[in-house]
């Protein structure tokens, strides 16, 4: 449990997610009157380019606050551990990406296919504006230390987040510098040599500058004992380690009214195995595999945010960022699959916001540009080399109109252009030819929301939006050794939603009923054609997913908060003309029900 330098001591218990905090109130509660009436506080959502109240947000989103992470979810040192249990979101393995509404956010390419043919993730983590790369997303274990909140969006977020958000988005906002000194530290220890040490400090440098530093280290031994006599250890190993450091500098010049600039520098270094899996009998947690590859990844990121209040409700914002990452895969025998990946990423986003969601008219318009270059080397049966280049452009806008005191109509539109070029020299044992893929994808992505305030405490509404993920190329290196192109996938998402503050604002309810209609759904499948077995990525003509997500927060007294959430999900490949045997199947690893108490 962390001790705050400003005098807070947080205690927590876990029984039906009952959270006690003494003497500090929860992030979702405040004293609203001199009579000490306890109510749930306003929850803000930032992941849709504008800041709005959760009650006014149509998208299905779970917001996890800093206090909830500290008090209720202590001991969970990364985003994976914190968001597990949110409705219709699961992790299938200890090293993996989340499954959101039945969609594997890793994308259709997994394992070796992701290395040979490139990755096409369906979601990612947005960390202070930095979109994590595929390897950061899969292996990175994003730290939850010194985090302001985590927003977990379910359903397509392509209109606001761009490509690779067809399944959803995870937005992590870390804490900013403060002009009031504050600090925190945390030490943890557990079985399997689990350990964690964390430190954060924030305060003023002068009346215009404030700084914040954050350090976090966590690690544990693998759960698996590798007992095979022929097991080959590698130089990285199979244990888990993660080091994260972040520094922020906030400048609020007194001479320039309305200007604010923030510089964020971060460094992460982590190690992970490819997986943790045991053989029978499974309760012994033993494996007789010959090797288990280890991964080490380092990433350095610089982000510059500049906001300028132009007056009359107009705010101009610009965020530029650069990140560089280095990934090493070590097997134990270099020629058996050692690999190296180096990536550089440059992005810039400029946006103009007008008004607030409570005004008669409000909106946002922006331009997002990104360039990513990646070089890969694989040593297996010879040396294979690859180079990726991606250019991304998004032009978007959203306008909200409060028709009257009860009705609000919001429309959004995004033009997305993604140019993907992948070239590589591949050893003959894997492919009949080298890869040379060059394609540009373009899509127009609308979003429309209509909401009705039945009472000041109860809102209902409907939303329709379109999501998209670019296509690519896959390699069937098991049999044909040929490269095959696959198309972009799209989805139309239809939702009914409700939000309610009840019992004098002590109870908050959220609910989203959804239907998702997929076209050209990307799937990596195994099928036998003419006596030959193929493993490749192709498009399913039509697929669907529908279900329900609900959440309840109840705070009967100041020191007690009850939280519960549930999800229902049905998925189905309704038409798959290139692989009819899969028609009627559910999405792989799609949960039928999720429940968190």
First to last CA, the chain: 22
From CA 365, how far away is CA 49, in angstroms rounded? 9
37 pLDDT tier (thresholds 50, 70, 90): low
Annotate 514-525 with DSSP letters as a single string.
EEEEEEEEEEEE
Cross-strand partners of 226: 287
pTM, full prediction? 0.91
40 pLDDT tier (thresholds 50, 70, 90): low
The arithmetic mean of pLDDT across residues 420-438, rounded, is: 94
Q: What distances in angstroms separate CA 238 from CA 95, 219, 271, one per listed residue?
A: 11, 11, 8
- List the one residue out of 121, 100, 99 whose CA is nearest residue 110: 121
Structure tokens at 521: 């759904």
From CA 85, how far away is CA 104, in angstroms rounded? 16
Q: With 0-12 CB in 10 A as exposed, 13-18 as middle and 19+ as buried, what is 494?
A: middle
Cross-strand partners of 340: 328, 377
Q: Which CATH class is domain 3-596?
A: mainly beta
Checking if the pLDDT of 254 tops 80, the result is yes
Checking if the pLDDT of 232 tops 90, the result is yes
From CA 425, how far away is CA 431, in angstroms rounded? 10
**Cβ contacts of 259 within 8 Å, gap of 6 or more:** 252, 253, 306, 307, 308, 309
Q: Which helix (H) or strand (E) holds 116?
A: helix 112-117
Mean pLDDT of the chain: 90
Checking if the pLDDT of 111 tops 50, the result is yes
SS3 call for 586: coil
The arithmetic mean of pLDDT across residues 13-25, rounded, is: 30
The arithmetic mean of pLDDT across residues 562-573, rounded, is: 96
SS3 call for 466: strand
Counting Cα atoms < 13 Å in the Cβ hemisphere of 454 gives 9
From CA 1, how far away is CA 186, in angstroms rounded? 6
487 pLDDT tier (thresholds 50, 70, 90): very high
CB 119 within 8 A of CB 126: no
pLDDT for 547: 98
From CA 491, how far away is CA 544, in angstroms rounded? 9
Kindly report which listed range (112-121, 263-272, 281-290, 512-521) carries the lowest average pLDDT score. 112-121
36 pLDDT tier (thresholds 50, 70, 90): low
pLDDT digits (tens, 9 = 90+) for 65-75: 998 888 776 67
């Amino acid at each position: 449990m962390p001790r705050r330098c400003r005098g807070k001591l947080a205690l927590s218990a876990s029984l039906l997610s009952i959270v006690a905090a003494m003497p500090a109130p929860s992030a979702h509660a405040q004293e609203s009157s001199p009579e000490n009436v306890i109510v749930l506080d306003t929850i803000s959502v930032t992941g849709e380019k504008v800041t709005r109240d959760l009650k006014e947000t149509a998208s299905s989103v779970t917001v996890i606050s800093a206090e909830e992470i500290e008090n209720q979810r202590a001991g969970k040192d990364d985003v994976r551990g914190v968001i597990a249990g949110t409705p219709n979101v699961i992790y299938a393995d200890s090293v993996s990406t989340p499954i959101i509404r039945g969609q594997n956010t890793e994308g259709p390419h997994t394992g070796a296919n992701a290395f040979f043919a490139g990755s096409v993730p369906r979601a990612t983590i947005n960390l202070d504006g930095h979109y994590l790369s595929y390897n950061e997303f899969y292996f990175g274990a994003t730290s939850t230390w010194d985090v302001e909140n985590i927003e977990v969006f379910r359903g397509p977020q392509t209109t606001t987040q761009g490509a690779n958000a067809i399944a959803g988005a995870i937005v992590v906002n870390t804490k900013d510098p403060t002009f009031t000194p504050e600090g925190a530290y945390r030490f943890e220890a557990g079985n399997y040599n689990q350990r964690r040490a964390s430190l954060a400090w924030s305060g003023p440098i002068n009346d215009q500058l404030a700084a914040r530093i954050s350090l976090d280290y966590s690690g544990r031994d693998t759960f698996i004992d590798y007992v095979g006599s022929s097991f080959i250890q590698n130089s990285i190993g199979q244990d888990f380690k993660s080091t994260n450091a972040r520094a922020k500098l906030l400048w609020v010049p007194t001479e320039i009214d309305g200007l604010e600039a923030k510089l964020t520098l971060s460094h992460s270094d982590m190690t992970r195995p490819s997986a943790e899996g045991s053989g029978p009998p499974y309760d012994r947690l033993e494996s007789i595999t010959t090797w288990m590859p280890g991964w080490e990844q380092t990433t350095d990121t610089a982000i510059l945010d500049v906001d300028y209040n132009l007056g009359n409700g107009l705010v101009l914002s610009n965020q530029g960022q650069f990140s560089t990452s280095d990934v090493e895969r070590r097997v134990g025998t270099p020629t058996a699959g050692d690999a190296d990946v180096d990536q550089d990423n440059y992005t810039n986003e400029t946006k103009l916001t007008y008004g607030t969601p409570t005004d008669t008219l409000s909106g946002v318009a922006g331009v997002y540009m990104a360039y990513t270059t990646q070089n890969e080397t694989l040593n297996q049966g010879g040396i294979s080399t690859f180079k990726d280049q991606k250019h991304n452009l998004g032009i978007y806008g959203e306008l909200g109109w409060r028709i009257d005191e009860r009705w609000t109509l919001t429309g959004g539109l995004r033009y997305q252009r993604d140019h993907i070029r992948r070239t590589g020299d591949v050893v003959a044992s894997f492919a009949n030819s080298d890869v040379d893929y060059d394609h540009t994808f373009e899509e127009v992505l609308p979003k429309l929301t209509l909401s009705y305030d039945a009472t000041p405490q109860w809102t209902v509404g409907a939303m329709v939006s379109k999501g998209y993920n670019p296509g690519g190329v896959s390699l069937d290196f098991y049999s044909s050794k040929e490269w095959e192109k696959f198309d972009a996938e799209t989805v139309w998402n239809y939702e009914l939603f409700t939000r309610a503050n009840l019992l004098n604002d002590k109870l908050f309810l959220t609910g989203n009923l959804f239907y998702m209609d997929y076209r050209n759904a990307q799937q990596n499948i195994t099928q036998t054609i003419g006596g030959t077995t193929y493993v490749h990525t192709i498009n399913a003509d039509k697929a669907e997913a529908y279900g329900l997500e609900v959440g309840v927060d109840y705070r009967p007294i100041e020191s007690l908060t009850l939280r519960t959430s549930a999800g229902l999900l049905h998925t189905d490949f309704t038409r798959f003309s290139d692989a009819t045997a899969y028609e009627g199947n559910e999405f792989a690893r799609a949960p039928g029900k999720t429940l968190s108490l």
